[in-house]
Amino acid sequence: MDRLLVATVLRPFGEHLATIVRPRPGDVCVDIGDNGEVPPLPDGAAQVVTSIFTLAEQPDPAAVLREMLRVLDPRGGRLGVALWSEPAAVPHLDALSLADPRTVEQATRFGFPLAAERLVEQAGGADRIRVSRIHDVVRFDGTAHWWAAVGIGDETHRAECEARLQSYAAPDGTLRIPTEAVLLTTE
């Protein structure tokens, strides 16, 4: 499941962030993973600091963002953070919530609603961080691929769920679901 989800959903956003932060040979690069820990680096030691859809999962996202800013080189260091946008920007949330009722609860826990502007203010980064939104289209090979990628095991409502997904079906049988992410980047 993780492989399908990463390749299909997360990779395009990761590639987009890579073009923003432009890692160069010799840069100290730090990626904040699921545990939210920043390596014990001195102030300003990293030229690139990233987090792709993990910051909102932390118990105190503002504290983690503050720590990311602390280790970021203030003389041109590049920050790239991706967060999921509001539930309204996830058009297939109705299918997700039908397939697994815990989805809305998990979406809330994993970042909805995490007002990015408020998070940046709480972290003390309003003067360094720019908040923007990007739109993309997540592509699945079909409803079976979507089902496998989101990792839902309860098939009770599978037919109804797949029927709701048909509005995203392309003529070639793939699903093309629009999505939105919030990016936090340094100027």
pLDDT at residue 146 in the model:
81
Domain boundaries, the chain: 2-138+178-186
What DSSP character marks residue 142? S
pLDDT tens by residue, the chain, 187 residues: 455 556 667 778 888 899 999 999 999 999 998 787 888 999 999 999 999 888 877 888 899 999 999 999 999 999 999 887 765 556 666 666 666 666 556 555 544 446 788 889 999 999 999 999 888 888 888 888 888 777 666 677 788 888 888 888 999 999 988 888 889 999 6
CB of 136 closer than 8 Å to CB of 12: yes
DSSP labels for 46-66? BSEEEEES-GGGSSSHHHHHH
- H helix or E strand, kind and range, residue 176: strand 175-186
Q: Which CATH number fits domain 2-138+178-186: 2.60.40.10, 1.10.630.10, 3.40.50.150, 3.60.120.10?
A: 3.40.50.150
pLDDT at residue 1 in the model:
43
- Cα 110 to Cα 39, 76, 174: the distances in Å are 22, 30, 27
Long-range contacts, 33-40 (Cβ 8 Å, 24+) = 36/64, 38/64, 38/67, 38/68, 38/70, 38/71, 39/71
pLDDT at residue 36 in the model:
78
The model's pTM is 0.78
pLDDT at residue 89 in the model:
56
Please report where in the chains the tokens 């890579």 appear, as a residue.
Answer: 18
If phi > 0 it is left, if psi is from -120 to 50 it is alpha, else beta; for residue 173 that is left
pLDDT at residue 136 in the model:
82
pLDDT at residue 110 in the model:
46
pLDDT at residue 164 in the model:
83
